[in-house]
Amino acid sequence: MLLHLAWRHNLDGLDLALAVNRLAAHGTSVWWLGAAGPEHEPGDYLIDVGAAVETALAGFGLMARRWRDSLPDGAIALAAPRIALLAGTAAAYPNFAYYAMALARLGFDVELIDGAAIAAGWLGAVDIVVLPAGSAIWGLDAAEGVIGADARLRAFLDAGGAAVASSGGAFYLSAGRPGWTGTARARPHHAHEYLRTGVGIVSVRLLADSIAFGCPPTLDMPYYHGPVYDELDRSVSSAATFHRLVMPGRLFFDNPLDPEVFRRELAGHTAILRAEGRRGRAVLFSPDPEMGDLIRRYIAFDDYVAHYLPLHGEATMADTLRHYRPLESPSWRLVLNAIHSLMLRRRPVSLPSPSIAPRPDDGDPPDLAAATEAALGRLPEFDGRRRHLAEILRDDLAARLGGVRSRLAAAEAPLLSLAGPAPAIRALRTDCERAAVAAFVAKAAGERTGTERLAEIDTAVTLLEAWCRLAEAEAHFTGAR
């Protein structure tokens, strides 16, 4: 039977995408609804399942309604993507971790890959490569210290593979500098001296593109020196433009985006670019939707909260901080829509993703939860009136960490007996934990501000929470097929 899964019936929560993508990974036929109708909105889903899955959806807290009619106009079959996430030197932790948590929360199968694996040809096992912010702007060979990764990635795109990229990764897929792929035939305004823009929270205006399904006309997200495009070739289209500067930021880069610079150089220019041509298919994000509410919280802590605390007091500011929702980041809907749009009519629903690259047996992985708890204990005292608010954030992180620690073992246990994507899901946790713990150990206490250290701890906690929800969904829906 056909079931209709509507975003509005499920409070626009990302558990809907999580469930649909886990079912698709196991062969369930899924249609993405690309046009509105009397009973549905663009971005809703139809799935072809039996009664056991209908029951499982209800048990997962989701509302599904039986679809009595034929497939509506605009219903397009979705293929389940196999995704590789660049996580080498060019996109070191935490850059890749923001995408790892977003992709896990959205229910996608994803494996981490570095430049050496790309050079060895492992992109042949995937459909989409994700290029996060980082030093990919100078090319993969240069950033990763390998030979052949740039050529292999170009061959992957030429052969029908697709890419999603943010910030530095978006530069790499643009045109105008040696080593860039030219997938998007558009040259950034600052093709080399990219720091001329800055850091902040920006609002983008979404245009007539499937990227916008389920979103309001404008959407806010972090921005870290992403490309700003002047002229667009006919093979590319603008899916969103820069609308306004919400607030400047100093988090991790003390280079706040100036309002005058935004007005002069960003406003009205392309913020999300879709490319499809001889050099491949891609969605390029100039801002960083993957960073979502997590990074927005801490940019706001240094800007919005610092400014309005003397005016409105601790209670109002504490309430503001409490209601950022990293695991329900509105901008993650753009990542979901980008991946869906790149998988339309590409191939039949696939078998579970094969492992990309053999992993050495390094023994037991580091305990990220323990490392995060230790980092919480080393947080410095904040000065002035923000001290109590920092304590509220610390207490919230401690409570969330306690909750996720109690879930980790229970979430992983069922995966030990499951085949298909389960081993790759377990490996994703192991690989992320190794990178995160290494980053905690490598950074001396004085290298980060107190706000930045709070953000790093929140990144680790959110990563574990997103992984837990993915593992729980995999176990829940595998048993219902």
Which pLDDT score is estimated for 346? 54
Looking at 56, 78, 100, the residue that finishes a domain is 78
- pLDDT of residue 261 exceeding 60: yes
- What residues are paired with 5 via a beta bridge? 45
Question: Is residue 115 in a domain?
Answer: yes
pLDDT in tens, 338-396: 999 999 855 433 333 445 555 555 566 789 999 999 999 988 888 877 888 999 999 99
Residue 350 lies in a domain: no
Q: What is the CATH number of the domain that holds 138?
A: 3.40.50.880
pLDDT in tens, 118-172: 999 999 999 999 999 998 888 999 999 999 999 999 999 999 999 999 999 999 9
Q: Are 204 and 241 in contact (CB under 8 A)?
A: yes
Query: How does 205-226 read in b/e, with b if 16+ C-beta sit within 10 Å?
Result: bbbebbbbbbbeeebbbbbbbb
125 and 236 in one domain?
yes
Same domain, 145 and 225: yes
Strands 162-166 and 128-131: parallel
Query: What is the reported pLDDT for 446?
Result: 61
CATH classification at residue 25 = 3.30.70
Residue 198 phi/psi, 5-degree rounding, is 140, -160
pLDDT of residue 351: 34
Check residue 144 and give its pLDDT: 94
Q: How far apart are CA 214 and CA 7, in angstroms?
A: 8
Q: What is the pLDDT of residues 167-201, one digit of tens each?
A: 999 999 999 898 899 999 999 988 778 888 999 99
> Does any domain span residue 355?
no
Asked whether residue 317 is domain-assigned, the answer is no
Residues 228 and 207 in one domain: yes
Residue 464 has pLDDT above 60, yes or no: yes
Q: How many helices (H) and strands (E) does the chain have?
A: 15, 16
CA distance 83 to 238: 24
Each residue of 223-233: pLDDT tens digit? 999 999 977 88
- Residue-number span of the structural domain to which 249 is assigned: 82-312+322-342
Rounded-to-integer distance, Cα 420 and Cα 28, Å: 14
pLDDT tens track for 21-40: 999 999 999 999 999 999 99
* Contact criterion met (CB below 8 Å) for 199 and 167: no
Q: Is residue 256 part of a domain?
A: yes
Strand 2-5 to 65-66 pairing: antiparallel
Query: Has residue 112 been placed in a domain?
Result: yes
As for how many domains the chain has, the answer is 3
126 and 244 share one domain: yes
Instruction: Select from 78, 112, 135 the last residue of a domain.
Output: 78
Cβ atoms of 225 and 265 within 8 Å: the answer is: no
Q: For the segment 409-439, what is each residue's pLDDT rounded down to a tens digit?
A: 999 999 999 999 999 999 999 999 999 999 8
Q: Give yes or no: residues 21 and 153 share one domain.
A: no
Query: Which pLDDT band holds residue 481 (cuts at 50, 70, 90)?
Result: low
Residues 245 and 260 in one domain: yes
Residues 50 and 181 in one domain: no
DSSP 140-172: HHHHHT-SSHHHHHHHHHHTT-EEEEETHHHHH
Which residues are 186's β-sheet partners?
232
Q: Tell me the three state secondary structure of residue 349.
A: coil
pLDDT in tens, 84-120: 999 999 999 999 999 999 999 999 999 999 999 999 9
Instruction: Check whether residue 29 and residue 99 sit in a common domain.
Output: no
Cα(461)–Cα(398) distance, integer angstroms: 9
Q: How confident is the model at residue 444 (pLDDT cuts 50, 70, 90)?
A: low
Q: What is the pLDDT of residues 233-256, one digit of tens each?
A: 888 999 999 999 999 999 999 999
Same domain, 67 and 121: no
Report the Cα 273 to chain-centroid distance in Å: 17
Instruction: Identify the pLDDT of residue 422.
Output: 94
The residue that leads in pLDDT, 261 or 380, is: 261
Residues 107 and 45 reside in one and the same domain: no
Confidence band, pLDDT 50/70/90 cuts, at residue 20? very high
Contact (Cβ atoms closer than 8 angstroms) between residue 5 and residue 323: no
Residues 302 and 442 in one domain: no
State which H helix or E strand residue 57 sits in. Answer: helix 51-59
Residue 394 lies in a domain: yes
Q: Please indicate, yes or no, if residue 362 is contained in any of the structural domains.
A: no
9: its two tokens: 């019936």
pLDDT at residue 385, rounded to an integer: 78
Last residue of a domain, one of 78, 102, 117: 78
Helix (H) or strand (E) holding 232: strand 229-232
Q: How much is the pLDDT for 479?
A: 74
The predicted model scores a pTM of: 0.95
In this prediction, residue 350 carries a pLDDT of 38
**Average model confidence (pLDDT) for the chain?**
92
Question: Does 68 share its domain with 91?
Answer: no
Could you give the dihedral angle defined by the CA atoms of residues 264, 215, 165 and 185, in that order, rounded to the nearest 10 degrees? -60
pLDDT at 348: 38
